[in-house]
Structure 1
Amino acid sequence: MRTVLLTGFEPFDQDTINPSWEAVRLLDGILLSDDVRIVARQLPCAFAEAPARLAGFLDEYKPEMVIAVGLASGRADVSVERVAINLNDARIPDNLGLQPIDTPVVAQGPAAYFSTLPIKAMVRAIQAAGIGASVSHTAGTFVCNQVFYSLQHALAGSGVRSGFIHIPALAQQALETGVPSMALETMVQGLRIALITALNTEHDVLETGGQVS
């Protein structure tokens, strides 16, 4: 049985839930084909712990594809990220109270890594199902970007496809903050379509798309 690793984050910034984990955990154990199974695992929202926890999962499951998922409060659609940058610049403290500013994710590492997923094909497939989706050119500078960069750094040259997806807030969170939201079942459907498309698409489609947001 081949493994696709899917990660989501624990709640942070006074939230009691994180939609990335709520969506990802519902896909744990799902078969994408006869011989491909999803393994979903949670990451801490902590700069000092998240990369090591991710590395442990990579070592344990030896997946053939990895997608990390995080919350992008304020966005309205499923945002498939294109690039991770070698920068921590936290606007708020993480769950351990740390707030790194202008520090590298990996000392002496490259300035950036691109996703190795067929991101535009994934967006097209999600949109075809009637779900809002777009290519994003910024994953921020908080723990989401740190995990994305750490993931690409760890798998560079390995042939294992990997990347990051941001999802919106849930309705109950939007009621409190006024940000856009998406139903949990829609997030789960979008993520499953993204995974299937990534597995079955060797070369990405050539079309324009995405915006800095």
Structure 2
Amino acid sequence: MRVLLTGFEPFAGAATNPSWDVARAVAAAWSRPEEVHAVQLPCVFASAPEALADALATHDPDVVVALGLAPGRVGVTPERVAVNLADARIADNAGAQPRDAEVVPGGPAAYFTTLPVKAAVAAVHEAGLAASVSLTAGSYVCNATFYALQHATAGTGTRSGFVHVPDVGDGPGQMSARDLERAVTAVVRACLDHATDLAVVGGEVS
């Protein structure tokens, strides 16, 4: 089994992006038999899908977990739905700021994730960390990448989806970098161990 784990480069003037930092850390520390490959994506509407397509072609993954930063969220939030909308509050790293545009012209209005999001949340909870299922990935580069990913993998055997991670810190309610690594590792393991959410997790059907 091969896993592709992606994160974004820094954006909006930040020096780092926790989504890339944790993707790289999880891949480097992975100890199970599966292969986990980390790839950094540009925070650019036009080129992120192209970089993602290159990574899919290079690594031919069975599972793809794309990560992005959601400042202000408390825990890890697997996303359920990607929408065919690019509507940017701020410019991307190339200066583009699309408004009311389609990610894929003429594409379906939305795609659902094919990852077991409830099982992933349960696994993070079992690790003692915060997580919840999210119903919106926004309309910035994260959602555009999520949509492009689901469009590219639709009808294939590849299971794929998007997970937002919080900013890291040592303040009340914040995750440390180490805790975020533990949380994302739990997500990836759950995605490998549960093909769908129709599985028993913690004694209950998720």
TM over 0.5: yes
> Do residues 76 (structure 1) and 74 (structure 2) align?
yes
Cα separation, 1, equivalents of 2:205 and 2:190? 18
Letter of the structure 1 residue corresponding to residue 59 of structure 2: Y
Letter of the structure 2 residue corresponding to residue 6 of structure 1: L
Give TM-score, length-normalised by structure 1: 0.90
Cα separation, 2, equivalents of 1:38 and 1:156? 21
TM-superposition CA deviations, 1:120-173 (whole Å, max 9, x none): 01101111111000000000000000000000000001011000000111228x
What's the Cα RMSD here?
1.9
SS of the residue aligned with 1:134?
A: coil
Letter of the structure 2 residue corresponding to residue 164 of structure 1: F
Residue 103 of structure 1 deviates from its aligned partner by 0.3
SS of the residue aligned with 1:33?
A: coil
Letter of the structure 2 residue corresponding to residue 194 of structure 1: V
Residues 1-213 of structure 1: pairs in structure 2 closer than 5 A: 2-31=1-30, 33-34=32-33, 36-171=34-169, 181-205=174-198
Conserved? CA contact 1:88–1:104, under 8 Å: yes
Cα separation, 1, equivalents of 2:158 and 2:54? 16
Cα separation, 1, equivalents of 2:48 and 2:115? 21
Conserved? CA contact 2:168–2:180, under 8 Å: no
Cα separation, 2, equivalents of 1:145 and 1:63? 20
Cα separation, 1, equivalents of 2:104 and 2:16? 29
Cα separation, 1, equivalents of 2:111 and 2:205? 20
SS of the residue aligned with 1:70?
A: strand
Conserved? CA contact 2:115–2:196, under 8 Å: no
TM-superposition CA deviations, 1:50-95 (whole Å, max 9, x none): 0000000000110010000000001001001000000000000000
More strand by share: 1
- Distance change (3 Å), C-alpha of 1:60 and 1:19: same
Give TM-score, length-normalised by structure 2: 0.93
Query: Is the deviation greater in 151-160 or in 180-189?
Result: 180-189
SS of the residue aligned with 1:191?
A: helix
- Distance change (3 Å), C-alpha of 1:194 and 1:32: farther
Conserved? CA contact 1:81–1:165, under 8 Å: yes
SS of the residue aligned with 1:162?
A: strand
- Distance change (3 Å), C-alpha of 1:108 and 1:208: farther
Conserved? CA contact 2:114–2:196, under 8 Å: no
Count of residue correspondences: 202
Cα separation, 1, equivalents of 2:3 and 2:28? 10
Unaligned runs of 5+ in 2: none
Unaligned runs of 5+ in 1: none
